[in-house]
Every structure is written in structure tokens, then in C-alpha cells.
Amino acid sequence: MQARRLENTGAFEFIPKAFPDHRGLFVVPFQEAALVEALGHPLRVAQTNHSVSSRGVIRGVHFSDVPPGQAKYVYCPRGALLDVVVDIRVGSPTFGKWDAVRLDSDEFRAVYVPEGLGHAFVALTDDTAMSYLCSTPYNPGAEHGINPLDPALALPWDVLDCEPVLSEKDRHAPSLAEAAEQGLLPDYETCLAHYETLR
């Protein structure tokens, strides 16, 4: 498995090797050794999530309070999606920047989203499935969102040739600037210190 460091500190793309044959295909989308080599620490898995989305559905931008935050290792076992990682850590040199990686059931690439970064994706095909390994369980009091259509973020939803579909919660989430004003965003230095405790 290959690992590629993304622009936002702590985020990685993982590219596994697939083994197709006359029966179908075998692939290992998550390999702890590769993740530890890239991150310097293992991923504690407290919960797994699975979502299924129609083409044009946008989920996110979601994030959690740090500490403890919630790291995610995500991949697409069916269909195709564009996965987006947004740096929302106040004080970060890449604050407001994003990385985008296509995840699909052809290559089974995965993305690691560390605590403190925002996460979103858009389904590019109907019946697209997303699988998540999460470092902490769902904690509704610590979960937040930013409007994925915030023009200041300019996220790459132009890959769509249809009207985006959002939940009411995501549609009415604050902009990045509003979330900052409300004190919802993680602090960069706090996040870096938290990452060090995981090593």
C-alpha cells in the first residue's frame, strides 16, 4: 500500500494494490502497518459507519471538538465519490484550504482525516457507499458542521452535473467565518498537541 501526504497537515491518501482475477477482485483497503508508518501512530477504532448516497448528495462539512475529536479513515466500497478534507484549524498555515481525492470501487483508495479537520464528500453515482473507521464514538454534543456551499470555501462541487442534495442540517450550517465567530472551530496548536499524544 502506498501513502501520499495531502496538503493539510495530518491528512493522507492511501492507495492499496487490487488483485483482480476471473472470480472478481480482492483488495485490502485498510492496513494498519501502512497507516502507522505514515502517521507515526495507530488508529484506535471505536466505531464504524456506513452511508449510502444517491448521485449529487453532499454530506458535510463535519468535524468534532478537539480534544478528543474524531479521526476518520474512509473509503468507498461501492460507486464513486469525491472526498474533501478542509483545514478549519484556526492558526493553521493552510486554514481554509482543502484537498480532494476521488474514492471509488475500482481503485479502493482511502483517506485519513485527522482530528480537527473538516470532512465532506459528494456522491458521483447512485447507490454510492462510504465506509468510515472512526477513532471515537458519535458524540452529538461535540459534533459540528460548516455549510458545504459556503462560497468562501469554494469546494469542488462543480464536478456535479446536477443540483446538489443536502440535509437540512448541512444546508443551514454556519459558514466558515460564522463558525469562527461562534468559537466552534478547532485550534491548530491544540490539534498538533493532541496528535503528539497519539504517538
- Which member of 62, 119, 144, 194 is catalytic? 62
- What residue has cell string 464513486? 80
CATH of the domain at 189: 2.60.120.10
The DSSP bridge pattern shows strands 98-104 and 80-87 to be antiparallel
The DSSP bridge pattern shows strands 58-64 and 72-78 to be unpaired
Q: What is the domain range of residue 189?
A: 2-198
CB-side neighbour CA atoms (13 Å) of 15:
7
Give the contacts of 73 (CB within 8 A, at least 6 positions apart): 30, 35, 43, 110, 111, 112, 113, 132, 133
Give the contacts of 1 (CB within 8 A, at least 6 positions apart): 14, 15, 16, 17, 28, 31, 34
Average pLDDT of the chain is 96
Residuewise pLDDT in 10s, the chain (199 residues) = 999 999 999 999 999 999 999 999 999 999 999 999 999 999 999 999 999 999 999 999 999 999 999 999 999 999 999 999 999 999 999 999 999 999 999 999 999 999 999 999 999 999 999 999 999 999 999 999 999 999 999 999 999 888 999 999 999 999 999 999 999 999 999 999 999 999 8
Q: What are phi and psi of 170, to 5 degrees?
A: -70, -40
Q: Is residue 62 annotated as part of the catalytic site, yes or no?
A: yes
Q: Is residue 138 annotated as part of the catalytic site, yes or no?
A: no
Q: What are phi and psi of 191, to 5 degrees?
A: -65, -45
Smallest CA-to-CA distance from 188 within 89, 98, 70 is with 89
Neighbours of 52 (CB within 10 A): 13
Per-residue DSSP letter, 150? -
CA distance 195 to 114: 8
pLDDT at residue 199, rounded to an integer: 85
- Which member of 50, 75, 112, 132 is catalytic? 132
Q: Are 43 and 133 in contact (CB under 8 A)?
A: yes
pLDDT at residue 156, rounded to an integer: 97
The total of structural domains in the chain comes to: 1
Neighbours of 16 (CB within 10 A): 18
